Amino acid sequence: MRVPILAYHAVNIAGNDYANNDHVAFAADLRLIDDLGLRVVPVHWVVDRLLGAAGRDLAGCVALTCDDGSDLDFTDVEHPSHGPQRSLYHCMADFHVERGADRQPDLHLTCFVIASAEARAQLDRNCLAGLGWMSDCWWRPALATGRMAIENHSFDHNHAAIPLPGIAGMVRGSFHVVDNRERADAEIAAAARVIDAVIAPRRTSLFCYPYSHANDYLVRDYLPNHQGAHGMRAAFGDGATPVTMQSERWNLPRYICGHHWKSQEELRAILGDATER
């Protein structure tokens, strides 16, 4: 198994070109993945294979994720500066209209969302357009499509743009400071409970580190030793390598759009190297 996991941020809209708009990049990348003869599969399948819960052959496969959980993952919007934006979900639907429903039959996107409604409202006002684009009203409809999963991206991201005291005395702007049981329960276990209440009877089982900040306490102690509290099966950072059977379960690597690649030529090189057997 050598599966590159790609990560996007639907809030990344600074224009309408590949390099400055993750929606444009995502739509183009679906075509590139298909052109290369690779197969998109759900991230859950990769975790199942890693944990020995399923024996699927994942050779030549790619998995897709997106972070932060804005409405733009699922809903088309009119951006005040850059016009109409096709959601990541509708980019997948457009791909199937263009290339046929039999192409990429397992096409799927895992969305890591922020649990706290108050934190999301603050981020919407302070980081986005203040138009209510960080709701949870789309989570259940997204799950109902069978093409998307809703997973755990912490309670509030401990984001620097949230003008509220950090949980358990944490300084804002870093997830490295989630370094003890109280803080970890507040950011990960509490987030799972909140998200699960919205998506019930579905449940979250995957965690993604905000800022890709994976510290030793979370990777070596909290996540592996307190699964009864948080319910997670695996966690994701960045790492910029494919997931293999030797990958660290509690810090699985991903490639991040705009950071690890900024053009289709760079992504082509990543996919070619990552999927070589």
CATH label of the domain that carries residue 105 = 3.20.20.370
What is the value of pTM for the model shown? 0.97
Cα–Cα distance, 154 to 175 (Å, whole number): 10
Assign 182 to helix, strand or coil.
Answer: helix
> Can you tell me the distance from the alpha carbon of 45 to that of 32, in angstroms, rounded to the nearest whole number?
21
* DSSP letter assigned to residue 153: -
Residue 48, pLDDT > 70, answer yes
pLDDT in tens, 216-262: 999 999 999 999 999 999 999 999 999 999 999 999 999 999 999 99
For residue 79, the cross-strand partners are 83
Range of the domain at 255: 5-274
pLDDT tens for residues 86-140?
999 999 999 999 999 899 999 999 999 999 999 999 999 999 999 999 999 999 9
Rounded Cα distance between 219 and 232, Å, is 12
Distance between CA atoms of residues 174 and 171, nearest Å: 7
Largest CA distance in the chain: 52
Strand partners, 84: 78
Q: Count of domains in the chain? A: 1
Token pair for 98: 């263009």
Share of the chain above pLDDT 90, in %: 96
